[in-house]
Structure 1
Amino acid sequence: MNDDMNGEINTPTERPSGDKKSGPKARSAWAVTRSVWFAMFMREAIGRTMTDRMGWFWMIAEPAAFLLIMIGIRSFIRGDSLVVNAPFIPWMLVGMMGFFLVREGMQQGLGAINANKALFAYRQVHPIDGVLVRNILDGLIRTAIFLLFMVGGLMLGTDFRPDNGFQAIGGWMSLWLLGLGLGLVTSVLGTLILEVAKIIRMVTLPLLIISGVIMPLNQLPHYLLDYLMLNPIVHGLEYIRHGFFDGYKVVHGTSMTYFWAWTLSALALGLLMHVRFKERLKSQ
């Protein structure tokens, strides 16, 4: 009665909107992907560098041993006279490290899916994640090893500094992208068809020879050179060599347009294959 007389009405107290309880904020798809990549990257990095006590040694020993063998062969074939306006040892080292970058990108894709198969139980993890993470890690490792060789060469009195730094870095990144594109394709083919993995490993040595890593291709007959220039790796290696040695005469017919046509096609094909066969790759 008194309440009515005073004009006061008892109503439930409303909670301010800021005090409303809410669940955890959902993360964006990109944030989830970054977390997955970081976790897989750390897993791969620890496995590659710390599981085997000799892991770092073999990463450096392989290109070093190959380089020493080629230097020994050079003394018999006088390779210095075959390369125009570029010292033979730095010329060969640049080509060798560039080729290894493509080769490892292609081969790392072969075992990336099977190595991460247990992680596919988590719906956030996809087969392509393992391929991307492996190629990123291998690219960083190869870059560190290449810089180590450059520093070692400078300490020994051999100038490995590029004449055109932007072109050298661009050529290095271009070769890494080609390796990534090929790795995306081989990861699908090698997982679905086991024989493909064996064939790819068999062709790496012939591919090294016909890519102009050891000897310059300019010395070959023109009719044979036309066929060898169909190999996109040759174009990428010649481009990065020209970035290191400004006066170097690249192989006739070198074209970065042709190289990028191959690189973009490999990337697009690899991505499409991963989308098309994602479920089969998970259950393979």
Structure 2
Amino acid sequence: MTAHVQPLRSRPQPPNHLDVYLRVLSALMLRDMRSRFGGNYWGYLVQVLWPCAHLGIITGVMAFRGMNPPIIGDTALFVATGALPALAFQYISREVMKGYMIHKPLTYFPQVKKFDTVIARCLVEIVSSFLGLMLVLMVLICFGIDPVPKDIFQAVTGYLAAIGLGIGVGFINVGICSIFPGWILGYILVTLSLYLTSGVYFVASFMPDEIYYYMKWNPITQIIEWIRLGYEPSYAVQIDYLYIFGWIFGALTIGLIMERFIVRAQQ
């Protein structure tokens, strides 16, 4: 008689560190999307739709008051070139900080690190920014407005600069709010002031030279001019690209240092 030998079943391999890390990030991102307005995914849709609603309100107000755009030629497109980069910076720099505070209790699990909560919120906000941008472009096309810039590279790199600056400042905000949680409310006033004074609804270079000199120290002002230069190549403005990149990489470096020596030190 021949004995039947059953093959040995291979033991399942434990997931590697990369698989675990990606699962943690995806879980944090899904939790981020559900933790918005109403506690479900419809709340995330509200955030994506908000830039479009914001643009419609401001455009309607300017049209009602008979205000013509000084450059570009279309009111909605002029507002979009200023509001979209400003809102991208504002949302990312603020929501990264809020995401860290919301997910902080999850860091008691050994698989979840504080740095993971920040990265997950950054990814969600980057996707949200581009979804909002695509939606605004589609709405402009539906109204018969051509949203394609004359210099696509110029406009796209300017928008990416706004996102990069938002990430860098967001990391700094995480370091600040880990020590002083009240900074979440204080930063709202900072972003509101920047939004109103960055040239979103007006052309900064048309201001008096004494005022424009100080406005140029605001990197958001120069980023808006950067993007508008892609739509209006004849726009007489000088952009200090080195200054903007200095802000982006400087903020990111300071934020990472604060994360390493301040955020991780908090219990």
Distance 1:169 1:253, change over 3 A: closer
**How far apart in 1 are the matches of 2:88 and 2:47?**
15
1:92, 1:214 within 8 Å by CA — same for their partners in 2?
yes
Deviations 1:153-210 (A, max 9, x none): 1121111112222332222222111100011100120231133222211122221121
Give the count of matched residue pairs. 258
**How far apart in 2 are the matches of 1:259 and 1:43?**
33
Shift, 1:25, TM fit? 5.9
Superposition pairs for residues 5-44 of structure 1, below 5 Å? 24=13, 27-28=16-17, 30-44=18-32
Shift, 1:116, TM fit? 0.9
Q: Which letter does structure 1 place at the counterpart of 2:58?
A: I
1:108, 1:131 within 8 Å by CA — same for their partners in 2?
no
Q: 2:156 aligns with which of 169, 175, 185?
A: 169
Deviations 1:127-167 (A, max 9, x none): 22212211211221121121111111112111111222233
1:76 counterpart residue number: 65
TM-score by length of 1: 0.81
Shift, 1:66, TM fit? 4.8
2:174, 2:263 within 8 Å by CA — same for their partners in 1?
no
**How far apart in 1 are the matches of 2:181 and 2:38?**
29
**How far apart in 2 are the matches of 1:75 and 1:248?**
28
**How far apart in 2 are the matches of 1:278 and 1:203?**
22
**How far apart in 1 are the matches of 2:203 and 2:217?**
16
SS where residue 39 of structure 2 aligns?
A: coil
1:272 counterpart residue number: 257
Deviations 1:22-77 (A, max 9, x none): 9946724x444333222212222233487244542454245424542344235536
2:3 counterpart residue number: none
Q: 2:85 aligns with which of 95, 98, 101?
A: 98
Q: Which letter does structure 1 place at the counterpart of 2:61?
A: G
**How far apart in 1 are the matches of 2:263 and 2:111?**
13
Distance 1:61 1:31, change over 3 A: closer
Distance 1:65 1:142, change over 3 A: same
2:117 counterpart residue number: 130
Distance 1:54 1:41, change over 3 A: closer
2:55, 2:79 within 8 Å by CA — same for their partners in 1?
no
1:10 counterpart residue number: none
**Structure 2 gaps, min length 5:** 1-7
SS where residue 264 of structure 2 aligns?
A: helix
| Structure number with larger C-alpha Rg | 1
**How far apart in 1 are the matches of 2:47 and 2:11?**
53
Q: 1:118 aligns with which of 83, 105, 110?
A: 105
**How far apart in 1 are the matches of 2:203 and 2:127?**
28
TM-score by length of 2: 0.85
**Structure 1 gaps, min length 5:** 1-18
Shift, 1:223, TM fit? 1.1
Q: Tell whether 2:176 aligns with 1:189.
A: yes
**How far apart in 1 are the matches of 2:56 and 2:233?**
23
Query: Matched residues, percent identical?
Result: 19
Shift, 1:234, TM fit? 1.4
**How far apart in 2 are the matches of 1:45 and 1:207?**
27
SS where residue 163 of structure 1 aligns?
A: coil
Distance 1:168 1:79, change over 3 A: same
2:219, 2:244 within 8 Å by CA — same for their partners in 1?
yes
**How far apart in 2 are the matches of 1:175 and 1:235?**
10
Q: Which letter does structure 2 place at the counterpart of 1:177?
A: G
1:6 counterpart residue number: none
Deviations 1:94-135 (A, max 9, x none): 210111100011111222222112221223322222122112
2:159, 2:227 within 8 Å by CA — same for their partners in 1?
yes
